[in-house]
Amino acid sequence: MAKKKVLVAGGAGYIGSFTVRALLEQGFEVTVFDNLSFGHRAAVPSAAILIEGDLSDRAKLTETFRSSSYDAVIHFAALTSVPESVEKPLLYYRANVGNSLMLLQAMADGGVGRIVFSSTAATYGTPLARLDEEHSTLPINPYGRTKLMVENALGDMCRAGALSAVALRYFNAAGASIDGSLGEDHRPETHLMPLVIRAARGIGKRLTLYGNDYPTADGTCVRDYVHVEDLAAAHVKALELLLDSAPGKFEIFNVGTGRGASIKEVIETASRVVGKPVPFDVGPRRAGDPAELVACSDKLQAQLGWRPKYLEIESILESVNRWFEKNPSGYRD
């Protein structure tokens, strides 16, 4: 049987690169489409095809879909910083909404009718109750609003019979590969776990803790940290669901562990993992940050059989520390 072909937009990025590797391990033929503004050429496995291009480039997209027949698309390409989205909303609407519509149009023109979309827990806003997929969506920052707009477009297209889609609302992606070959390398880095490990190892600047007066047990924000390898596995399962489904299917799944950890807990655990204190300063709250975001992923577990393998933040931080032991300067590209 011929291998299924998947185009992964943003496949050179953090979560995308892990998903590309997982797809290859499951026997898929993978093409990565990435402008490499945040992704890394070195993160793309040699078994995958890499097309360097931007989703805003209509001609490049058209050429890509004409050059090969894809069975599905996985869409990671986006801007993801909540504070930056507050400061530069137009940039986020253009990149996250406008470019997603460009991709969807190219898919339609190329006859590709399946997509797994990288969404976010930021679509929910401030939790009012248990955070399952039926919770209201009232995002409190432009980043979350852009992702929700794309979800709505996908839902409308599926109801019109033009598409089958899964949107994965995942919580805080974290971690690195156990063998230290793949990790998180944003430039500049904005995610907590690499920042705390770098600070503890003395290869990064002092950490800033944004707010210690939230209505949580220790005053710092609580988040659900899901290991990136578990996230990659969820994308593969979502893709397999679409490949086995009739046109028009649309599903939304949360992806998280169901366990929350405060920023203070992450700092204290990182100190134990590295064996050195994490130097940090307390700053003001950041606009758009809810006090607590913890997933209910019962639907994903029940319908797709997904289970997170990494439940403890200590094991996630250990993988990050191992990555920096082997790659203190990140990817060499």
Q: Where are the beta strands (DSSP E) in the chain?
A: 5-9, 29-34, 49-52, 72-75, 114-120, 164-170, 172-174, 207-210, 222-223, 225-227, 250-255, 261-262, 280-283, 292-293
> Hey, is 243 helix, strand or coil?
helix
Could you tell me which of 226, 307, 315 has the C-alpha nearest to residue 273? Answer: 315
Question: Per the structure block, which two tokens stand in for 295?
Answer: 């997933």
Positions marked catalytic: 143
pLDDT at 303 over 70: yes
Tens-digit pLDDT profile for residues 266-275: 999 999 999 9
Tens-digit pLDDT profile for residues 148-206: 999 999 999 999 998 999 999 999 999 999 888 999 988 888 889 999 999 999 987 89
Provide the whole-model pTM.
0.94
CA atoms of 146 and 167, how far apart (whole Å): 13
